[in-house]
C-alpha cells in the first residue's frame, strides 16, 4: 500500500483536495486499499481552508510517505519555516513530491524546484519564476514531471496529476476506470495547454456554439463562412456579424485557434508525422501550420514535440 500525504497550510484551497478523490476511487475501483490517504500539517490538528472550514490533520514530521503533495492557497502566501523544514526532511525520504496550483511556491521555498522544470497556475507562473530563479518555470502545462518532483497547474489540474500517478503506479486501465468514476476526460497529458480555444471564444448563443462544435468535429474540411453559417442556420452575413459580436474575432481566426489546439494535442501525444497532422487538422500544408504555431505558442511544432517527450520521460 502506498501512502499519500497532502500537506495543508491555513487557508489552503479546498479544490486542491480533489486529487484525494482520485486516490480514493483507485481503492474503490481496485476493490483493495492501494493508497493510504493522509492529511498533514506542521503541528497536526484542525487546519482551516479558504472557506474557513477546518480539516483534521496529523503532524507532518512523524510521517513516512511514498508521495507528498503540497496544496496551495488561492494566491501564493509565505509558508512557516517549520513546515518548510519538515517538508524538506520528509521529502528526502519519499519516492516523489508534488504540488497542486500555488503549492509549487511551497516546494520552491523548500528548495525542491532548484534546477528543475515546474509549472503552476498560469496566473502566478511569472511570480514563481521571479521568486525561484533556479527553477525553469513553464506557464502553459497541465503538469510537469521532473525526476521525483511533480508540479501541476491550477485547481482541477491536480486531478490530472493524480491520474498520472495512478497510471504510473498501477497502469492505464485503473487510471481510466478512476477517470470514468470522476466523470472527467481520461487524463489530460501533462504537456497539454492550460488554455482551451473553446473557453477563450466564449460564444453565448446556441447557434454560434453549435457552429464552433461543428468546426471542431470537422477540422479537416474547408470550414468556409458559408459552411459554418449553414451549421448555425444563419445567412453568411448574419453569421459573421453575430460571431464577431459574441467572440470578438472573425470565424477564420477562430477556426485557426481550434486547428492549432487540435494539432498541438496530436503533436504532443501521437506518433503521426507533422505532415499528417497538418492534413488531419485542416491546414493546407505544414508550413502554414508552422506559422500558426509560431503566432500562437512562439515555437514550431517540432519544439513542442521534443518538449512533450522530455516531460513524458521517466
Quick: pLDDT tens for 39-53: 999 999 999 999 999
Same domain for 165 and 223, yes or no, is no
Residue 190 has which C-alpha cell? 501533462
DSSP 237-285: HHHHHHHHHHHSS-HHHHHHHHHHHHHHHHHHH----HHHHHHHTT-SS
Say if CB 13 and CB 101 are below 8 A apart: yes
Q: Where does the chain show beta strands of DSSP type E? A: 2-7, 35-41, 45-48, 54-59, 67-71, 96-100, 117-118, 136-137, 143-146, 149-152
Same domain for 225 and 178, yes or no, is no
Same domain for 233 and 142, yes or no, is no
Same domain for 174 and 59, yes or no, is yes
Average pLDDT over residues 249-274: 89
pTM above 0.85, yes or no: no
Average pLDDT, the chain: 89
Residue ending a domain, choose from 182, 208, 229: 182
CA dist 150 and 274 (Å) reads 29
Quick: pLDDT tens for 21-77: 999 999 999 999 999 999 999 999 999 999 999 999 999 998 999 999 999 999 999
CA dist 136 and 118 (Å) reads 6
CATH code of the domain containing 292: 1.10.10.60
Of 118, 75, 66, nearest in space to 97 by CA: 66
Same domain for 137 and 15, yes or no, is yes
Where is mean pLDDT largest: 102-106, 139-143, 217-221, 280-284? Answer: 102-106
Confidence band of 190 (pLDDT split at 50, 70, 90): very low
pLDDT over 80 at 259, yes or no = yes
Same domain for 31 and 97, yes or no, is yes
Confidence band of 156 (pLDDT split at 50, 70, 90): confident
The single residue listed with the C-alpha cell 456554439 is: 209
Average pLDDT over residues 103-128: 94
pLDDT over 60 at 199, yes or no = no
pLDDT over 90 at 162, yes or no = yes
Residue ending a domain, choose from 182, 213, 234: 182
Domain ranges, residue 40: 2-182
Q: Which of 59-68, 108-117, 199-208 has the lowest mean pLDDT?
A: 199-208
Residue 190 in any domain: the answer is no
CA dist 143 and 311 (Å) reads 9
Quick: pLDDT tens for 240-258: 999 999 888 899 999 998 9
Counting the structural domains of the chain, the total is 2
CA dist 204 and 187 (Å) reads 28
Same domain for 177 and 204, yes or no, is no
Question: In Å, how far from its chain's centre is CA 308?
Answer: 13
Amino acid at each position: 500500500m502506498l501512502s499519500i500525504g497532502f500537506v495543508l497550510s491555513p487557508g489552503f484551497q479546498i479544490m486542491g483536495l480533489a486529487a484525494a478523490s482520485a486516490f480514493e476511487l483507485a481503492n474503490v475501483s481496485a476493490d483493495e486499499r492501494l493508497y493510504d490517504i493522509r492529511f498533514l500539517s506542521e503541528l497536526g490538528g484542525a487546519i482551516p481552508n479558504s472557506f474557513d472550514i477546518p480539516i483534521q490533520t496529523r503532524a507532518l514530521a512523524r510521517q513516512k510517505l511514498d508521495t507528498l503533495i503540497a496544496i496551495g492557497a488561492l494566491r501564493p502566501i509565505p509558508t512557516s519555516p517549520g513546515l518548510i523544514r519538515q517538508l524538506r526532511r520528509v521529502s528526502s525520504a519519499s519516492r516523489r513530491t508534488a504540488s497542486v496550483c500555488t503549492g509549487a511556491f511551497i516546494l520552491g521555498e523548500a528548495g525542491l524546484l532548484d534546477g528543475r522544470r515546474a509549472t503552476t497556475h498560469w496566473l502566478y507562473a511569472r511570480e514563481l519564476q521571479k521568486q525561484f530563479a533556479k527553477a525553469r518555470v513553464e506557464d502553459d502545462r497541465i503538469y510537469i514531471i521532473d525526476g521525483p518532483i511533480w508540479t501541476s497547474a491550477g485547481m482541477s489540474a491536480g486531478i490530472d496529476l493524480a491520474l498520472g500517478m495512478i497510471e504510473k503506479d498501477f497502469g492505464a486501465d485503473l487510471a481510466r476506470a478512476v477517470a470514468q468514476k470522476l466523470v472527467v476526460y481520461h487524463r489530460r497529458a501533462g504537456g497539454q495547454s492550460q488554455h482551451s480555444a473553446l473557453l477563450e471564444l466564449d460564444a453565448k448563443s446556441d447557434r454560434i456554439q453549435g457552429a464552433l462544435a461543428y468546426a471542431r468535429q470537422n477540422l479537416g474540411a474547408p470550414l468556409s463562412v458559408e459552411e459554418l453559417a449553414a451549421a448555425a442556420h444563419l445567412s453568411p452575413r448574419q453569421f459573421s456579424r453575430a460571431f464577431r459580436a459574441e467572440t470578438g474575432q472573425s470565424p477564420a481566426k477562430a477556426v485557426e485557434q481550434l486547428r492549432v489546439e487540435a494539432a498541438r494535442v496530436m503533436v504532443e501525444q501521437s506518433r503521426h508525422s507533422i505532415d499528417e497532422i497538418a492534413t488531419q487538422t485542416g491546414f493546407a500544408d505544414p508550413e502554414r501550420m508552422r506559422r500558426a504555431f509560431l503566432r500562437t505558442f512562439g515555437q514550431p511544432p517540432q519544439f513542442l514535440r521534443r518538449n512533450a517527450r522530455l516531460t513524458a520521460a521517466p
